Each structure stands twice: as structure tokens, then as C-alpha cells.
């Protein structure tokens, strides 16, 4: 039940988010910690180059939080882009993500992709198909801007993901880069 005992419709988006299910690109990290900001950098580039895509939503975030469930429940696919020290610097690792059962040990206001997917499933009985794109980084020092090798990754990844944006949105990207497969 909720506060009034009424059932709340939650399938549609609120506050300007897409009402129909599409694809989400979520880049997250701290842009003040050098390469940690690579996730937001990738997604902001994608958003700029594919501003005409109505079916794709691009989110650049500092961290994953529970409210993201509202976006995820409205999506069919989601790609999380993040920096990783577990991947060799300059390399990119892509993997399918599962859904993690929500558990009380995790702080509620921060989350992992698997946990926020689990929360979404628990709350809204739907979670999108999800992938993680981990970009190997080495410089996490204080400051804005990416290292040279990570900047190259961004270029490759934006081309690669841009292909998916084009395919999923069925629209030409604003930047006109139609054949942008690229190997991640």
C-alpha cells in the first residue's frame, strides 16, 4: 500500500523524461578526479552528437542513486559507462550486467549498476537489459580533464556507442556520423 492505500501508476515518465521505453546511456564518475570523469565525458559527447535521438536518453552523473530507478524502469536497454582501475589503462571492457538482489548492507544513497537495477526490478517489476562499459584509467588525481590515453578511449567509445544510438533510435545523428562502428 502507499500512504493512501491507492495504487500508483508508475509506467510513464515524469519531469520531462521519455514516456516510452527506449535506451539509456549513463556515464558516471567524479569529473574533478581526472580520468574518473570519463563516464560523464563519453555520455556528454554522445548527447552532443546525437541530440536528435528521441529514443535515447543520456545521463551524466556523479554517482548512481536510487532515483535512477525512475529512469531505468522506463528503459528497455541501458549502458553504464564508468572508469575502472581493474581494466588496463586505455583499454575498454564491456560485459552484460545481471540484477543484484537489494540488500540492507548497502548505503541507500549510493549504488552499483547491479544494485540500482535490482532496486528498479523490486520497485517497478521491470529492469532493462544492461551492459557495463568499463574504461581502464590510471590518473585519478585531483583536477579536471582526461589523460591522453583515456581521451583516445573516449573517441573510440563514442564512435562505437554512437552506432548503437543510431540503430536504437532509428534516426540519423545530429553530427551526421552514420557509419561509426569502431572497435571498442
Partner 1 sequence: MSRTINIEGVTRIEGHARITIELDDQGAVRDAQFHVTQFRGFEKFVEGRPLTEMPSVMARICGICPVSHLMASAKACDELLAVEIPPAAVRLRKTMNLAQLVQSHALSFFHLSSPDLLLGFDSDPTKRNIFGLIKLHPEFARDGILLRRFGQDVIALLGGKKIHPAWVVPGGVNDPLTAERRDKILEGIPAALDIARRAADWLATVIDRFPNEAAVFANFPTMFAGLVNSDGQLEHYDGTMRFVDSQARTVAEFSDPRQYTQYIAEATENFTFLKSPYFKPAGYPTGIYRVGPLARIIVAQSCGTPAADAELQRFRAKLGRAPTSSFYYHWARLIEILYGIETIEKLMRDPDALDPRVRARARPNRNEGVGISEAPRGTLIHHYKIDDHGQMKWANLIIATGHNNMAMNRGVKQVAERFIHGDTIPEGMINRVEAVIRCFDPCLSCSTHAMGQMPLLITLRNAKGEVLDERQRD
Contact with partner 1 (CB under 8 A) among 6, 86, 179, 183: 6
The pattern of x and - marking residues 122 through 141 that bind partner 1 according to CB under 8 A reads xxx-----------------
Site residues (CB under 8 A) for partner 1, limited to 59-88? 61-63, 65-67, 69-70
51 in contact with partner 1 (CB under 8 A): no
- SS3 for 87? coil
Q: Where are the alpha helices (DSSP H) in 23-83?
A: 38-49, 68-72
- Nearer to partner 1 among residue 6 and residue 86 (C-beta): 6
Shortest approach of partner 1 to residue 4 CB, angstroms?
A: 4
Site residues (CB under 8 A) for partner 1, limited to 144-183? none
Shortest approach of partner 1 to residue 103 CB, angstroms?
A: 6
What is the side-by-side strand order in the sheet with 56-61? 56-61, 22-28, 75-84, 129-136, 92-97
* Cβ count near 61 (within 10 Å): 15
The stretch among 6-14, 76-84, 137-145, 166-174 that binds partner 1 (CB under 8 A) is 6-14
Shortest approach of partner 1 to residue 17 CB, angstroms?
A: 9
Site residues (CB under 8 A) for partner 1, limited to 90-129? 102-105, 107-109, 119, 122-124
Find out whether 142 and 34 touch, Cβ atoms under 8 Å. yes
Q: Residue count at the site for partner 1 (CB under 8 A)?
A: 30
Phi, then psi, of 17 in degrees rounded to 5: -90, 160
The H or E element spanning position 61 is: strand 56-61
* Cβ count near 151 (within 10 Å): 14
Query: Alpha-carbon distance 60 to 114, whole Å?
Result: 18
Chain residues binding partner 1 by CB under 8 A are 1-4, 6-8, 10, 14-16, 61-63, 65-67, 69-70, 102-105, 107-109, 119, 122-124
Amino acid at each position: 500500500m502507499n500512504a493512501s492505500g491507492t495504487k500508483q501508476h508508475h509506467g510513464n515518465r515524469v519531469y520531462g523524461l521519455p514516456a516510452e521505453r527506449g535506451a539509456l546511456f549513463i556515464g558516471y564518475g567524479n569529473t574533478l578526479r581526472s580520468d574518473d570523469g570519463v563516464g560523464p565525458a563519453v555520455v556528454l559527447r554522445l548527447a552532443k552528437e546525437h541530440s536528435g535521438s528521441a529514443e535515447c536518453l543520456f545521463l551524466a552523473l556523479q554517482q548512481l542513486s536510487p532515483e535512477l530507478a525512475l529512469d531505468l524502469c522506463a528503459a528497455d536497454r541501458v549502458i553504464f559507462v564508468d572508469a575502472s582501475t581493474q581494466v588496463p589503462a586505455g583499454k575498454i571492457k564491456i560485459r552484460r550486467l545481471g540484477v543484484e538482489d537489494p540488500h540492507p548492507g548497502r548505503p541507500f544513497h549510493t549504488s552499483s549498476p547491479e544494485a540500482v537495477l535490482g532496486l528498479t526490478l523490486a520497485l517497478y517489476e521491470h529492469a532493462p537489459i544492461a551492459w557495463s562499459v568499463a574504461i581502464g584509467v590510471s590518473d585519478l588525481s585531483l583536477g579536471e580533464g582526461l589523460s591522453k590515453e583515456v581521451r583516445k578511449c573516449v573517441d573510440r567509445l563514442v564512435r562505437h556507442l554512437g552506432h548503437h544510438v543510431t540503430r536504437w533510435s532509428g534516426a540519423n545523428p545530429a553530427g551526421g556520423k552514420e557509419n561509426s562502428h569502431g572497435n571498442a
